[in-house]
Chain A
Amino acid sequence: MLLGQDGVTNGAIYALLALALVLVFAVTRVIFIPQGEFVAYGALTLAMIEAGRLPGTLWLLLGAGVLVVALDGLDALRRGGMARLLQVVAANILYPLALLLLMRTTSTDTWPLAAKVLLTLAVVVPLGPMIYRIAYQPVAEASVLILLIVSVAVHVAMVGLGLLFFGAEGSRTSSFSDASFTVGPMMVSGQSLWVIGTSLGLIIALALFFNRTIYGKALRATAINRAGARLMGISPALAGRLTFMLAALIGALSGVLVAPIATIYYDTGFLIGLKGFVAAIIGGLASYPIAALGAILVGVLEAFSSFWASAYKEVIVFTLIIPVLVWRSLTSHHVEEDE
């Protein structure tokens, strides 16, 4: 029972990540390996804020912002004049500077937890679109394979930067809730409820976003037919940045949720992200509900195998992908034409 609860809690996190991965792949054809790094960045940024230290991710935000301005500044000036340029500078350089000023002048470690979480998201989430602009947008039309190699390169660089910012020691943050409830024969911890509740809430919010808002519909259109969406005036660059913002939001939020349950190291994100991947692949990188179910399966399998054969936990989880791939290969029997 306890294992099942653990499994479902972890599974909820994997489900969120799997959704993000499916979304990013559908809209941009990018297999987003660095998804896990956003989890680690979210968790560790929160930990540093709690410790009253300036998170290194803020410097990354500033650096990436300067790069984006360098890439986009001239174009903005040519197309929209001074006003447009100022807009770009404000969003990419002044915003991180403002955050920096805020964190230097106020002692954020005394803030309530919710405010700290918001601050963490404010630092980490804008990194998503910036990374899309810098690394992916110049090669947006390349093959899935090239985009995948770029993803791996971004992942490797982000892990290295994570080590630089947060050091090699792991961190844990304080729980959202210390409450625990007894439901029938089992104990449910407050944090588990937070995780599962937030995941469900986010999934519902995403569903509403995709069905009810114009931007959500634009993303869905891009996912279905890139060229068609472009002809309808949906900019692929905008769609890409928006998608990456959502992915970064989901990643950072997952990190914040998981940080009180597990000790997070600078490179933990990768394994968490990969488990989201296993789930996403179960859904064929296309189906959201199957991916979410797959995530719960991965979480439960992981919980039980860590109990029965803890040394082989990772082996079992990652070997799960092989039968899934076999099943995929049996269902698609014709010779496929690569891009």
Chain B
Amino acid sequence: MSNPRSSAVPAPVTGKVPLVRALPWLLLVLLVFVPVTLSPFYVTLLNYIGLYAMVALGLVLLTGVGGLTSFGQGAFVGLGAYTTAVLTTSEHLPAWLAWAGGSPWLALIIGLLLTAVVAVVLGSLTLKLSGHYLPLGTIAWGISLYFLFGTMEVLGGHTGLSGIPPISLFGWVLNEGEEIFYLIWAFLLVAILTTRNLLDSREGRAIRALKGGRVMAESMGVDTSRSRMIIFVIAALHAAASGWLYAHMQRFVNPTPFGLHIGIEFLFMAVVGGAGHVWGAVIGAAVITILKQWLQDILPVLFGASGNFEVIVFGVMMVLILQRAPNGIWPILARWWPDTASKRKVDAGAAPLPRRQMPAAGEVLLQAIDVTRKFGGLVANNTMNLSVAAGEILALIGPNGAGKSTMFNQVSGVDTPTSGEVLFRGQDVAGKTAREVARMGMSRTFQHVRLLPEMSVLENVAIGAHMRGSKSVLPAAWRLDRAEEARLLAEAARQIERVGLAEHMFDAAGSLALGQQRILEIARALCSDPCLLLLDEPAAGLRYREKQILAELLRKLRGEGMAILLVEHDMDFVMGLVDRVVVMEFGEKIAEGLPEEVQKNPAVLEAYLGGVA
């Protein structure tokens, strides 16, 4: 969350002038007339910008939104280009592949499939690793694949393959740069549109949640490994499609344009343009491509020698941008771009989502039996017992270091007890992932608020409903998920109203006060339709009035039959609110009972006030 780059939602536009609304359409019309008005030089330049922007778009999704960095996209471009080059030029394909020869369109499909397979293999090898191993891995296989292109005989070695046929579309042969221009930009615009659609969906929220910390996303039922794999494969596919177009535009491939340095340039494009925004990819590709063209003309003259001197400028520019404007160029331009995301309406009439069978009041939901957790020689929890019933609030209290958080982790499935068991509605929690626990009907908040500050309150809460939808990437990209999406958002809106945050529904979550953020977390937890809420120090850092509001909300939820377990420090907050209290010290339960009884218990007084007595 500390990463300064923002999420994919464009900044709100101030003052909606009609001109601003018309701007994208105006640009689109201009684009259509480019090949007939501009000289071939500029058409070629725009072709390259379009090709690079497609790769950079994949990186926007992967790096800017998902927080994963790849320097190896050049290799995926090469994979797409070489697949089509081999299939469309080779005279003697092996018999099992002969059917695929000669047709660029078949080659595109095969190239994409091949890339997807390679990406899944590379992804399953490296995506599990933490932050910096992935980019290092991408450097390694980026180099490996590059050398492979240069050494394999079938691929023509360093001289490459020539004689690649042009693409034909319904009998129209795209021979010239002016003709393939339309195909490149059509591909790019479709890619941008589908990426935008994807980000604005259930799956997209899961992807955007990756940067907010995986623990939060997992406990909301998001399979973060799957989300990471999805964006990794999508980014690879964008790159491969760009490679396919490139091969048929150049009609010739050799290894040079697929090396690591190009992969690095792609990442520069995404960062310069604004890695969190789909249009940042286009801006970044344009800036870097034009700058490179210009520098390649001017620098060799300036230095009196030939060579790729533009990389010096790129390197220095990158350092400066990362130091001074880590969000890139797009957020600065976004002010002139119409804002479509925040105008979203919640359809209150959408059919409600199915709910789980709620337990009857008084039914015991959670039972911890003789839970012991040892860390080496330290016994953090020693034969702890507790139970929570529907329609009841139980507080787990104790001084600092008493083992409350460890106990919380045992109960919520984050950690596994050394011995003893935790039963939730009769089922054992031990060994289950946070995701499975969430699915069973237990939902939690965090001691340190874990929200996505740039996303709206509505979207943050909707992450909680992740498990209650099923529409995945393809329906989202092509907007076939709208009925389900409306139901999810309506549910999120209902929960926001339930906790009393309705007036902030469309504000950025980061703009709320801490107390409101904690309540937002409760709304998010409620959105998963739980029967047990686990709250980790919900009153920490709250002002008096905020605590009162929180207590009111918890009482209301209890009245509706919710079971609530809260871990707390704050005695005053706990005493007026909860039904029963369990007090811990040194990892053991020292008292249990009604708040008034516990308050008078000598062992509790000793624990809280020290050895006065």
A interface residue numbers (CB < 8 A to B) = 31, 134-135, 138-139, 142-146, 148-150, 152-161, 163-164, 167-168, 274, 277-278, 281, 285, 311-312, 314-315, 318-319, 321-322, 325-326, 328-329, 332, 335-339
A163 adjacent to B307 (CB under 8 Å): yes
B143 adjacent to A314 (CB under 8 Å): yes
CB distance from B471 to the nearest CB of A (A): 25
For residue A329, which residue of chain B has the nearest CB? Answer: B128
Contact of B271 among A135, A149, A159, A338 (CB under 8 A): A149
A149 adjacent to B267 (CB under 8 Å): yes
B125 adjacent to A157 (CB under 8 Å): no
A163 adjacent to B308 (CB under 8 Å): yes
| Assembled-state Cα–Cα distance A142/B2 (Å) | 8
- Does chain A have a CB within 8 A of B37? no
- Does chain A have a CB within 8 A of B341? no
Residues of A within 8 A of B284 (CB): none
Residues of B within 8 A of A325 (CB): 125-126, 129, 133, 137
A338 adjacent to B314 (CB under 8 Å): no
Residues of B within 8 A of A338 (CB): 67, 130-131, 213-214
Nearest 7 pairs between A and B by C-beta? A157-B315, A153-B318, A160-B312, A160-B311, A156-B315, A336-B130, A321-B140
Residues of A within 8 A of B140 (CB): 274, 278, 318-319, 321-322
For the complex with contacts A153-B316, A318-B141, 5 further pairs of A-B residues with Cβ separation under 8 Å are A31-B135, A143-B3, A145-B3, A157-B315, A325-B137
| Assembled-state Cα–Cα distance A179/B475 (Å) | 72
For residue B263, which residue of chain A has the nearest CB? Answer: A152
CB distance from B472 to the nearest CB of A (A): 21
CB distance from B158 to the nearest CB of A (A): 11
Do most interface residues of chain B lie in helix, strand or loop, or is the interface mixed?
helix
Contact of B67 among A145, A150, A318, A332 (CB under 8 A): A145
A314 adjacent to B147 (CB under 8 Å): yes
Do most interface residues of chain A lie in helix, strand or loop, or is the interface mixed?
helix
Residues of A within 8 A of B218 (CB): 335
Residues of B within 8 A of A311 (CB): 151
CB distance from B247 to the nearest CB of A (A): 22
Residues of A within 8 A of B131 (CB): 143-145, 336, 338-339
Residues of A within 8 A of B264 (CB): 152, 156
B144 adjacent to A314 (CB under 8 Å): yes
CB distance from A24 to the nearest CB of B (A): 13
Contact of B311 among A159, A312, A328 (CB under 8 A): A159
Contact of A339 among B2, B144, B314, B323 (CB under 8 A): B2
Q: Taking A143-B3, A144-B132, A157-B314 as contacts, is the C-beta distance between A337 and B213 under 8 angstroms?
A: yes
- Does chain A have a CB within 8 A of B305? yes
B69 adjacent to A139 (CB under 8 Å): no
Contact of B322 among A144, A150, A314, A319 (CB under 8 A): A150
| Assembled-state Cα–Cα distance A69/B24 (Å) | 47
User: What 1/0 mask marks residues of chain B from 206 to 244 whose CB sits below 8 Å from any chain A CB?
Assistant: 000000011100100000100000000000000000000
- Does chain A have a CB within 8 A of B522? no
